[in-house]
Amino acid sequence: MVGWYTLTLVDYAIAGTAIIVSMVVLNKVLRWLGVNREAATGYALILPWLLGFLIWNLGPFIASFYFSLTEYGPLRSPRFIGLDNYVRMFRDDPNFWPVIRFTFLYSLFNVPLGLLGALFTATLLNQNVRGLGFWRTVYYLPAVLPAAATALLWRWLFARSGLINFILRPIYNLLDIEAPSWFTEPRLILPGYIIMGMWGVFGANTIILLAGLKNIPRDLYEAAILDGAGRVKRYLTITLPMLSPSLFYVLIMGIIGSFQAFTVAFFVDHSRRVGTFINVYIYEQAFGRLNGMGYAAALGWVALVIILLFTLLVFKSSPAWVYYEGERAG
Amino acid sequence: MATVEQVQPAVVAPTVVGRSRAGEIALRMLTYLLLIAGALIVFVPFAWMISTSLKAEQSLFLYPPEWIPRPPRWSNYVEAWRVLPFGRFLINTLFITTLAMVAEIFTASIVAYGFARYRFPLRNTLFILLLSTMMLPGILTIIPKFVMWRELGRIDTFSPLTVGAWFVWGPSFVFLLRQFFMTIPREIEEAAILDGANTFQVYWQIMLPLVKPALLAIAVLSFQANWNNFEGPLIYLNTLEKYPMILGLQFFGETLSKEAPKWHYMMAMSTMMAAPILALFFVAQRYFIEGIVVGGVKG
């Protein structure tokens, strides 16, 4: 039993030593090649990342593209099949479109709702409220809870005899319907996930936006008041433009995060036919089937393209709404 | 906003002052009401988790629900701990988290120092490359990484979850630390270099102590990320005795608690898993907030 830990400790020590030694060696070699002292040290210092980039990002990135053109499983070597995986995905896989649709719809609701909710809360907290530290702690709490615990908790809250149904019981009685079990009722899976997702990220976004609000110089508001601008006008013409870089950051991170929903799905037990996220589907294909690793790699590439398209869309639109105030200190 | 409110009466015509004062108070009250409503939305699920974890099995589905179980069954925690080898799971979690965290902090800070302080060709291009890897979906590279660890014979060991941390896992940590390094005046280092200190001494003895708040910020974020990491253990570990807590929790939900969910045990396990993180949050809250804010405001 102790052997497991020792094995990893040895691996860990070897990798650590190798990194440090290679940094020293790189520095020496670059100096010997005539690179100036500062540049040689600089390259040596960023070497851990450079190696990591090659080994853990670029290499696997290229390899996964190759795998996506093959039939490949844990027990056999890859067999080249050209674009068959992609053709199969778009034409023959009955699960592909529902999975994309579900992931897309989840993001479509989750990202804007999370952003607007956080903006609203941050605005409230910026109204010079008493006990700001307390409120900030409270709102950030859900973001500290492990995603697994959050998912289990909400699964229980949404269960047939869970708390949500108890709270909603008057409404059910009024409409004369039976209390549903949210995560087993196909139509309620998406709203269930959206509510759960909002509860989880809400706090972190609120804190980021609040810090952005606190960074807006006071004198801008004072000038606007002298010009006779009302509360709403001040919010629209000063607060929002000045906050737009933070909003942009939260939006990008939100899109990337919600397209990659994964952990929660393993703690919410629901019918797998409806409501599978793309990442979960990729995992199931790669590790749940015998020869699915090539197909899973192809799915991964499609997921990457989708995420890139959306982030690119936001980036392209940013000059129209994100306002950078030159090189402001801080 | 304080100064803004004080300026207002002087500008607005006297007749409006009375009405706007009343409006001001109403607005304040509304603000607090909404804040309290929001806090309830946060707190009620938490309270429900703890409440459930102290219930007896037969009182789980009582109607109306019982908020304070009588008597509270503290033994749920002991029983939940014993259903599966949770003691072992805890050791595994601590082992993985500690190793990954130490390597992550060390390499992220050294790389950030390099990017912040040394000029070399292609520096900005490389830094943009570093930032752009944040957007690469992890699932895309997971299959080649799995194959790589398999070729190295390290499937079902802790190595894939820890050794990789030497190669800078978190580009966001590098970004955060670089921001901090850049705020430190160059004169401090120059003095040390004149005194004959080498690069490593400057980094270790002078720069690191100066960015301690940022180091603590990435330490808590890294602890949280490794403690809660689910995807890695799920893919690389197969043997029950090697599971970290999160995988144990999932295993319990999928097996012993599948048909008739034992919510009292699952909530007790969730609480135990979340407890260290929550405790850390209450102690080092400042650093959590510092860590997440830098990206959003300074980026």
Confidence of residue A19 (pLDDT cuts 50, 70, 90): very high
What is the distance between the alpha carbons of residues B170 and B107, in angstroms, rounded to a whole number?
10
What pairs with residue A72 in β-bridges? A292
Query: What is the average per-residue pLDDT within B182-208?
Result: 86
Q: CA nearest A134 in B: which residue?
A: B39
Q: Which residue has the tokens 């949210």?
A: A182
Q: How many CB atoms lie within 10 A of CB B12?
A: 14
Q: What is the pLDDT of residue A327?
A: 43
Q: Do B136 and A57 touch (CB under 8 A)?
A: yes
- Least Cα separation, residue A162 to chain B (angstroms): 8
In eight-state DSSP terms, residue A182 is G
Q: Do A43 and B136 touch (CB under 8 A)?
A: no
Q: CA nearest A18 in B: which residue?
A: B166
What is the distance between the alpha carbons of residues A21 and A3, in angstroms, rounded to a whole number?
27
Residue B12 has pLDDT above 50, yes or no: no
Confidence of residue B139 (pLDDT cuts 50, 70, 90): confident
Q: Do A218 and B3 touch (CB under 8 A)?
A: yes
Q: What is the pLDDT of residue B104?
A: 94
Instruction: Tell me which of A17, A28, A37, A45 to substitute to probe the interface with B (most B C-beta atoms closer than 10 Å).
Output: A45
Confidence of residue A329 (pLDDT cuts 50, 70, 90): very low
Does residue A327 sit at the B interface (CB-CB below 8 Å)? Answer: no
Token pair belonging to B155:
């499937």
Q: Which residues of chain B make contact with A44, given a CB cutoff of 8 A? A: 114
Instruction: Tell me which of A70, A85, A124, A153 to substitute to probe the interface with B (most B C-beta atoms closer than 10 Å).
Output: A153
Does residue A199 sit at the B interface (CB-CB below 8 Å)? Answer: yes
CB pairs under 8 A between A and B: 316
Contact in structure between A23 and A48 (CB atoms under 8 Å): yes
Query: What is the average per-residue pLDDT within A246-275?
Result: 83
What is the distance between the alpha carbons of residues B11 and B32, in angstroms, rounded to a whole number?
27
Q: For chain A, where are the E strands, in sequence order? A: 70-73, 76-80
Q: Do A48 and B111 touch (CB under 8 A)?
A: yes
Q: Which A-chain residues 121-150 have CB contacts (< 8 A) with chain B?
A: 121, 124-129, 135-142, 144-149
Does residue A156 sit at the B interface (CB-CB below 8 Å)? Answer: yes
Does residue A92 sit at the B interface (CB-CB below 8 Å)? Answer: no
Q: What is the pLDDT of residue A18?
A: 95
Q: How many CB atoms lie within 10 A of CB B6?
A: 9
Query: What is the per-residue pLDDT across B40-79, written as a single tens digit (0 to 9) for each?
Result: 999 999 999 999 999 888 888 777 778 888 888 888 899 8
Instruction: Tell me which of B3, B98, B163, B166 to substitute to probe the interface with A (most A C-beta atoms closer than 10 Å).
Output: B166
Q: What is the pLDDT of residue A30?
A: 95
- Identity of residue A115: L
What is the distance between the alpha carbons of residues A180 and A176, in angstroms, rounded to a whole number?
12
Does residue A203 sit at the B interface (CB-CB below 8 Å)? Answer: yes
Confidence of residue B17 (pLDDT cuts 50, 70, 90): very low
Contact in structure between A166 and B65 (CB atoms under 8 Å): yes
Q: Which residues of chain B make contact with A258, given a CB cutoff of 8 A? A: none
In eight-state DSSP terms, residue A178 is P
Name B160's Cβ contacts closer than 8 Å, sequence gap at least 6: B145, B149, B154, B232, B236
Confidence of residue B14 (pLDDT cuts 50, 70, 90): very low
What pairs with residue B138 in β-bridges? none
- Least Cα separation, residue B186 to chain A (angstroms): 14
Query: What is the per-residue pLDDT across B265-291, written as a single tens digit (0 to 9) for each?
Result: 999 999 999 999 889 888 888 888 877
Query: What is the per-residue pLDDT across A82-91, written as a single tens digit (0 to 9) for each?
Result: 899 999 999 9
Token pair belonging to A167:
């709270």
- Nearest-by-Cβ selection for B2 from A40, A45, A128: A128
What is the rounded (10 degree) CA torsion for A18, A23, A25, A28?
-170
Q: Which residues of chain A make contact with B285, given a CB cutoff of 8 A? A: 137, 140
- Phi then psi for residue A71, to 5 deg, are -100, 125
What is the distance between the alpha carbons of residues A201 and A73, in angstroms, rounded to a whole number?
36
Contact in structure between A163 and B291 (CB atoms under 8 Å): no
What is the distance between the alpha carbons of residues A121 and A119, in angstroms, rounded to a whole number?
6
Residue B214 has pLDDT above 90, yes or no: no
- Nearest-by-Cβ selection for B139 from A48, A137, A300: A300
Residue B297 has pLDDT above 70, yes or no: no
Token pair belonging to A1:
């039993």
Query: What is the per-residue pLDDT across B219-259, written as a single tens digit (0 to 9) for each?
Result: 988 998 999 999 999 999 999 999 999 999 999 888 877 77
* Cα-Cα end-to-end distance for chain A: 51
Residue A14, Cα to own-chain centre: how many angstroms?
32
Average of per-residue pLDDT values in chain B: 85
- Least Cα separation, residue B135 to chain A (angstroms): 7
Superfamily covering domain A88-329? MetI-like (1.10.3720.10)
Average of per-residue pLDDT values in chain A: 88
- Nearest-by-Cβ selection for B45 from A46, A128, A153: A153
CA gyration radius for chain A? 25
What is the rounded (10 degree) CA torsion for B247, B248, B250, B251?
110
ipTM score: 0.88
* Cα-Cα end-to-end distance for chain B: 25
What is the distance between the alpha carbons of residues A140 and B282, in angstroms, rounded to a whole number?
11
- Nearest-by-Cβ selection for B297 from A12, A64, A212: A212
Q: CA nearest A124 in B: which residue?
A: B31
Q: What is the pLDDT of residue A14?
A: 96
Q: Which residues of chain B make contact with A64, given a CB cutoff of 8 A? A: 140-141, 143-144
Sign of the CA dihedral running B273, B274, B280, B283: negative
Q: Do A221 and B4 touch (CB under 8 A)?
A: yes
Residue A330 has pLDDT above 60, yes or no: no
Phi-psi region of A159 (alpha: psi -120 to 50; beta: other; left: phi over 0): beta
Q: Which residues of chain B make contact with A63, given a CB cutoff of 8 A? A: 143-144, 147
Contact in structure between B102 and B168 (CB atoms under 8 Å): no
- Nearest-by-Cβ selection for B299 from A149, A153, A249: A249
Residue B166 has pLDDT above 90, yes or no: yes
- Least Cα separation, residue A286 to chain B (angstroms): 7
Contact in structure between A235 and A148 (CB atoms under 8 Å): no
Helices (H), A33-146: 37-52, 59-67, 84-91, 96-125, 132-144
The structural domains of chain A, with segments of one domain joined by +, span 4-67, 88-329
Peptide bond between residue B71 and the one before it cis (omega within 30 degrees of 0): yes
Instruction: Tell me which of A1, A68, A144, A246 to substitute to probe the interface with B (most B C-beta atoms closer than 10 Å).
Output: A144
Q: What is the pLDDT of residue A326?
A: 54
